[in-house]
Amino acid sequence: MDYSVINKRAAGAAAVDYIVSGMTVGLGSGSTVDYMLDKLAEKVKEGLKVQGVPTSKKTEKLAKHLGIPIVDFATITKVDLAIDGADEVDPSFHLIKGGGGSLVREKIVDANAQQLIIIIDETKKVPQLGTYPLPIEIVPFGWQKTAEAIAAFGVEPKLRKLSEQDVFVSDNGNYILDCPFKLIEDPHSLHQQLKQLVGVIETGLFTSMADIVIAGEEGKVEKLTKEK
Ligand SMILES: O=C[C@H](O)[C@H](O)[C@H](O)COP(=O)(O)O
C-alpha cells in the first residue's frame, strides 16, 4: 500500500476522535474523508450517536451505505463539527479545495460548522497556495465569457472535463474551471475579487475557516491548531 493511503487513513481516523455522541457532523468529500467515514462507521456500530450532514452526493451515498445516519441540512440548527479534506493547506490554514468538484456544498457546510477539522496527507502542506490549480464553480450559461474574465487575472482557466466530449457537471449542475495561478499572494483578496465576477458561483479558496489540521505523515499524525 502506498504511503499516501496510509497517511490519509491515519488522518481520517484521528479526526473521528473529536466526535462525541450527540454531535451533528459535517461530512466533507474526497478520498481522505472516505477513510474517515470508514472509521466513523465502526464507531457508529459500537454505539456512537451522530448525525451526518454530507457535502456531496458521493459522500451521502457512501455514508448511507456504511450505516452512518444522515440528516437534511435544511432541518438542523447547528453543525457541531465538520471534517473535510483539502488539496492544499498553507501555514495560515488557508486552503484550496474542490479537486473532486464538491467545493460549493463543502463551503456552505464548513462555514456553518462551529469547528472545522481538515484532514490531509502531508503532501498537501505548502508554504504558499497556488501550485494546485484553483477550482472555480461557474454558471454553465456563457461559461466562455466567465473564463475570459478570470483569464484577465493572468491565468489560463481550463474547463474541467470527464472526457474529450463530456464536461464535468457539479452536484449543483454547474461547471468548474481549474485555474493554475501558480502562486497566490493573498488568498482572501483573490477570492473576493473572483467572487465579484458575473457567472462565478464560488471559489475553492477557503480562507480563515479551518481550526485544526490533521496531517498524516509516515503513518503517524501531526495535529496542528490555529493560533488565535
Ligand atoms: O472537491 C473535493 C474536495 O474539496 C476534497 O476535499 C479535496 O479535493 C481533497 O480530496 P482528497 O482527500 O481526495 O485528496
The C-alpha atoms of residue 202 and residue 138 are separated, in whole angstroms, by: 7
In a domain, 227, yes or no: no
Quick one: average pLDDT of 83-98?
A: 98
The protein residue with its alpha carbon nearest to ligand 1, atom 3, reads 98
**7 and 107 housed in the same domain:** yes
Atom 7 of ligand 1: nearest residue by CA position: 86
Q: Which pLDDT score is estimated for 226?
A: 81
Determine whether 137 is an active site residue: no
84 is in an annotated binding site: yes
Range of the domain at 107: 3-125+207-218
207 lines ligand 1 (CB under 6 A): no
The answer to whether the annotation marks 14 as part of a ligand binding site is: no
- Rounded to the nearest angstrom, the distance between the alpha carbon of 2 and the centre of ligand 1 is 18
Same domain, 28 and 70: yes
Same domain, 28 and 62: yes
Compute CA 203 distance to the chain's CA centroid, rounded to the nearest angstrom: 11
Same domain, 192 and 150: yes
**110 falls within a domain:** yes
Taking only the tens place, the pLDDT of each residue in 157-182 is 999 999 999 999 999 999 999 999 99
- Give me the mean pLDDT over the 180-196 stretch: 98
6 pLDDT more than 90: yes
- 99 marked as part of a ligand binding site: yes
Q: What is the pTM of this model?
A: 0.97
